[in-house]
Amino acid sequence: MSKLCAVIDYGMGNLHSAHGALQAVAGADTRVLVTSDPEVIRSADHVVLPGVGAIRDCMAEIRRQGIDQVVAEVRKTKPLLGICVGLQAMMDSSEENGGVDCMGLFPGKVRFFGNDLVEDGTKLKVPHMGWNKVQQVEHPLWAGIADNSRFYFVHSYYVEAVNPSQVKGRGHYGVDFAAAMGEGNVFAVQFHPEKSHNAGLALLKNFLNWDGQA
């Protein structure tokens, strides 16, 4: 029986890269489809919420297209993966664009790294762009991936979680931040697995093989 992975298209995602990476690791029985159709998303076996760009624009499109309602439904019954701004959209709110209310799947805020970010006396550039280690917290999506593997990040804002038990990966760039969040059927990452070579592809493959509920 064939399976469907729906990559949500709401006009703000890096869809080509995410689709290509997922398709590359999908088994012969899995189809990866980019779609904005709520009924297709609801019928999928796995759902991916990507995202790039400003959070105000992302949330405006998510709400305009009713994606927030679809996400609230699918998270209860099937595996859901958030990528980059897809993770940030799952938090309570973001400081970006003067303050934006998000979907609230995870309690916590998205904060700006700041213009005076310093590490060991050296000023750090913002955005945080490039490869960085992720310290794992046990979860099925890390299976077969060495702890402290490097993943590719591009972000000026970071997740400050409220509930430590929901943090499934930790990063550091001047400050500690949540690199991965997870609870129940939902797993979301700040980095781009589709750009993170073998470790990222392994995570995507683990997601497609995951039945949810860590």
Specify whether 192 is catalytic.
yes
5, 96, 155, 194: the active-site residue: 194
| Whole-angstrom distance, CA of residue 4 vs CA of residue 31 | 5
Residues 80-125: tens digit of each pLDDT = 999 999 999 999 999 999 999 999 999 999 999 998 999 999 999 9
Specify whether 194 is catalytic.
yes
| Whole-angstrom distance, CA of residue 100 vs CA of residue 60 | 10
- pLDDT at position 209 over 70: yes
5, 58, 84, 102: the active-site residue: 84
Tokens of residue 39, six digits: 């009924």
Q: Is residue 194 part of a domain?
A: yes
Residues 27-75: tens digit of each pLDDT = 999 999 999 999 999 999 999 999 889 999 999 999 999 999 999 999 9
Q: Is residue 91 part of a domain?
A: yes
Domain that holds residue 88: 3-209
Q: Is residue 214 part of a domain?
A: no
Q: Is residue 162 part of a domain?
A: yes
| Number of structural domains the chain divides into | 1
Q: Is residue 112 part of a domain?
A: yes
- At residue 199, φ and ψ (nearest 5 deg) are -65, -40
19, 46, 155, 192: the active-site residue: 192
Buried b (16+ CB within 10 A) or exposed e, 51-72: bbeebeebbebbeebebbebbe
The CATH number of the domain holding residue 79 is 3.40.50.880
Q: Is residue 129 part of a domain?
A: yes
pTM for the complete prediction? 0.96
Half-sphere exposure of 180 (CA within 13 A, CB side): 26
